[in-house]
Structure 1
Amino acid sequence: MTSTPLPEEQPPAPRLNATQLPDVDVPQPSGNAPLVVDENTDLSTLTPAQLYELNQRTLDESTRSSSDLPLIAAVAPIRVLREEYDGAPAFVRQIDFLATKGYHGIRRTRGDGDCFYRSLAFAYIERIMSTPDPALEATIAISTLDAAVPLLETVGFDKFAYEDFYEELLGLLRRVGSGAPDQLSPETLLSAFQAPEVSTAIVVFLRLLTSAQIRCDPDAFDAFLFHPDFGNQMTARDFCESFVEPTGKEADHVQMTALARALKVNAKVAYLDGHDPNGAVDFVSFESALDPSTPPVVLLYRPGHYDILDTRSLEAIQL
């Protein structure tokens, strides 16, 4: 099994709070006039904080009134994302780069702090459904989960606290390739994840599973457990109780690594940050599948938010 990169080997995931910003200004330090960003702006001259603000402003615009957005949406062509960054050529170049790598679509998730867990869960099941033998892959996934569940009781979670949440995930996996009238289809999978009672239950279970994985593997994780705002080192229990188990908390690299290991899934995260002058996009890989050649699920990260990248043809997405 290929080891997952350690957290310190991965690009930082900013944990700044989103703010609503005006349409064209990137705030400067107090006392300076705001910087106007247009097609003539060289983004390589901007500080990381200014790039963050520019990216966050666009994200805010696309997720404004997020409570009215579905928990997870149908796939949209990647050009929709490109249009959001009109006037920010560094980001447009990165989006075009993603398109040249075969990422023709984006599936949005609601920006509620649970977007990583919801995105990964949906893409995880969708990938199983797309394999040559989805029923077999679903059986393997269920076996993997059943083997991981005892970790929850090992760290003190009562079975009654998680079994109903687990059952929602199992229920979907059992319908994959079942041949039954209620066999899971792309449409019914999307409908399930748009239902708050199902979607949130799966998020809660995966958060508990992530917490258990972190607590049960101190050699892998303890050295990387820091408070995201103050930088002080935390115990596994305090870290998990504060930032992993509660819903609405953004996931960091520790959580991504832990969940990939618990699910034995390969995942890649593309960082849309505007940093590369040539438009290249950094991908961080989390490789924990039993078969290293297993295709990964691929997420798109913008500061504070995750969506799913889709590799289907543009024609298929637009049908």
Structure 2
Amino acid sequence: MQNLKAHDGDAETEKVSSTQASEIDDWANFKDDDIMQQQFAIQAEEAEKIPFVGDKEPLSSLANEYKSGSSILLEKIKVLSEQYAAIRRTRGDGNCFFRSFMFAYLEHVMESQDQGEIDRIKANVEQCRMTLRNLGYAEFTFEDFFALFLEQLDCVIQGSETSISLDELVQRSRDQSISDYVVMFFRFVTSGEIRKRSEFFEPFILGLTSASVEQFCKSAVEPMGEESDHVHITALSDALGVPIRVVYLDRSSCDNGSVSVNHHDFHPVSNDLPSAKKGGAEAIDPFITLLYRPGHYDILYPK
């Protein structure tokens, strides 16, 4: 009986060892790509809990987010609070730059009711349409996106049957069928501008990737969910003639020991901006301000 029990024990040990070896093999086959995909899936699931465009919040809500975090970030948020009153968050789904720009621009037009700006942007949109045609894009691939953006633009102009309120603009920006189409409009506009001025953008693209301009546009600009950087912002600003300020909130410290918040103004190359002096001697301050934290953009509201 003792020998039988010993044999059973050996068999059980062998079974456990076999199971462990199998699990180790399974883990070995679970490659880095699989881990990354799982991580992206978790991030996407978390992002879906946040609306495409959030409510306007006091800037103090940003400080609450970092209460137990970096002291440098808390100091920088204090500096920010001297100039900015509020923040509007956007979903971190890779489209946050375009989504932030979309809402901030339409909200600006709604508040200003500047007919000159409306006429100017519509003329630039038509130029962007012609750019895509000249580049060989089939019109059916982009026309619906252009039409929906112009429809949203007309809706924020007050005094007509189609006019909407700010609350309605927020709701439309949270409607995926509308919001994603407008994001795609901006992606096509950005791609068209980069391709049209490929010689200008090529060195910047080569600094980011080994892809050609065409490959970059196909893989990093036009698809939904692809994150944006300075190339995208420069191209969109130039194409639509809209200046954009990006404020950077990160853990970088200053050489002199003081705390400051850096920003960069993207001024369009065109000189048809309202109030801009001819010859580009003086550019107007951007009326769209975005807050950049590594990998994400939100909207900032000046005091």
Question: Which interval holds the TM-score relative to the shorter structure?
Answer: 0.7 to 0.9
Q: Distance in 1 between matches of 2:45 and 2:67?
A: 17
Alignment partner for residue 245 of structure 2, among 252, 265, 268? Answer: 268
Q: What is residue 98 of structure 1 aligned with on the other side?
A: 80
Question: What is the CA-CA distance between 1:177 and the residue it aligns to?
Answer: 2.5
Q: Measured at CA, do residues 73 and 134 of structure 1 come closer, stay the same or move farther in structure 2, by a change above 3 Å?
A: same
1:53 maps to which residue?
none
Letter in 2 for 1:247: M
Q: Is the 8 A contact 2:248 2:261 kept in 1?
A: yes
Aligned to 1:299, the other structure's residue is in SS state: strand
The one-letter code sitting in structure 1 at the alignment partner of 2:185 is: F
CA deviation string 1:6-56 (max 9, x = no partner): xxxxxxxxxxx8998xxxxxxxxxxxxxxxxxxxxxxxxxxxxxxxxxxxx
TM-score of the superposed pair, with normalisation by structure 1: 0.73
**Structure with the higher helix share, 1 or 2:** 2
Once the two structures are superposed, the pairs formed by residues 261-300 of structure 1 within 5 Å of their partners are 261-276=238-253, 277-288=257-268, 290=273, 291=276, 292-293=283-284, 295-300=286-291
Gaps of 5+ in 1: 1-16, 21-59, 313-319
Q: Does the 8 Å CA contact 1:75/1:310 hold for their aligned counterparts?
A: no
Task: Determine if contact 2:133/2:139 at 8 Å carries over to the other structure.
Answer: yes
The residue aligned with 2:214 is: 237
Check whether the contact 2:128–2:192 (CA below 8 A) recurs between aligned residues: no
Q: Does 1:65 align with 2:46?
A: yes
Q: C-alpha separation between the residues in 2 aligned to 1:204 and 1:117?
A: 9
Structure 1 134/188 Cα, relative in aligned 2: closer, same or farther at 3 Å? Answer: farther
* Equivalent residues of 2:110, 2:158 under 8 A apart: no
The root-mean-square deviation of aligned C-alpha atoms, in Å, is: 2.2
Structure 2 partner of 1:126:
107
Task: Give the superposition deviation at 1:219.
Answer: 2.8
Q: Please say if residues 109 and 157 of structure 2, whose CA atoms lie closer than 8 Å, have aligned partners that are also in contact.
A: no
Does the 8 Å CA contact 2:205/2:213 hold for their aligned counterparts? yes
Deviations 1:233-279 (A, max 9, x none): x2110111110011101001111100000110010101100212533
Moved over 4 A (4+): 17-20
> Whole-Å Cα distance in 2 between the matches of residues 201 and 165 of structure 1?
5
Alpha-carbon distance between aligned partners in 2 of 1:216 and 1:137, rounded to the nearest angstrom: 24
User: Structure 2: which amino acid aligns with 1:224?
Assistant: F
Q: Indicate if the aligned counterparts of 1:222 and 1:235 stay in contact, CA closer than 8 A.
A: yes
Partner residue in 2 for 1:5: none
> Which structure carries more relative contact order (alpha carbon 8 Å, separation 6+)?
1
Q: Does residue 176 of structure 2 align to residue 185 of structure 1?
A: no
Counterpart for residue 301 of structure 1: 292
**Matches of 1:206 and 1:227, distance apart in 2:** 23
Partner SS state of residue 77, structure 2:
helix
CA gap 1:126/1:19 in 2 versus in 1, 3 angstroms = farther
User: Out of 155, 162, 169, which is 2:135 matched to?
Assistant: 155
* C-alpha contact 1:109 1:115 (8 A) present in aligned 2: yes
Confirm whether residue 78 of structure 1 aligns to residue 59 of structure 2: yes
The equivalent of 2:279 in structure 1 is none
Is 1:310 the counterpart of 2:301? The answer is: yes
**Distance in 2 between residues matched to 1:248 and 1:73, nearest whole Å:** 18
Question: Which among 147, 157, 160 is matched to residue 167 of structure 1?
Answer: 147
SS of the aligned residue for 1:270 comes to: strand
**In structure 1, C-alpha distance between the alignment counterparts of 2:154 and 2:96, rounded to whole Å:** 24
Whether contact under 8 Å (1:267, 1:285) holds in the other structure is yes
Query: Normalized against structure 2, the TM-score is what?
Result: 0.77
* SS of residue in 2 equivalent to 1:65: helix
Alignment check: 8 A CA contact 1:155 1:212 kept:
yes
**Alpha-carbon contact 2:148-2:182 (below 8 Å) kept:** yes
Structure 1 contact 109–118 (Cα < 8 Å) conserved:
yes
SS of residue matched to 2:48: helix
Q: Distance in 1 between matches of 2:72 and 2:167?
A: 35
| Residue pair 2:265, 2:286 contacting (<8 A) in 1 also | no
Q: Is the CA contact (8 Å cut-off) linking 1:142 and 1:173 kept in structure 2?
A: no
Residue equivalent to 1:113: 94
**1:64, CA displacement in angstroms?**
7.6
Shift of residue 176, structure 1, vs aligned partner: 2.7
Per-residue Cα deviation, 1:78-137 (whole angstroms, up to 9, x for no partner): 111101111321001111111112x11110000000000110111111122222x43442
Q: Secondary structure at the match of 1:221?
A: helix
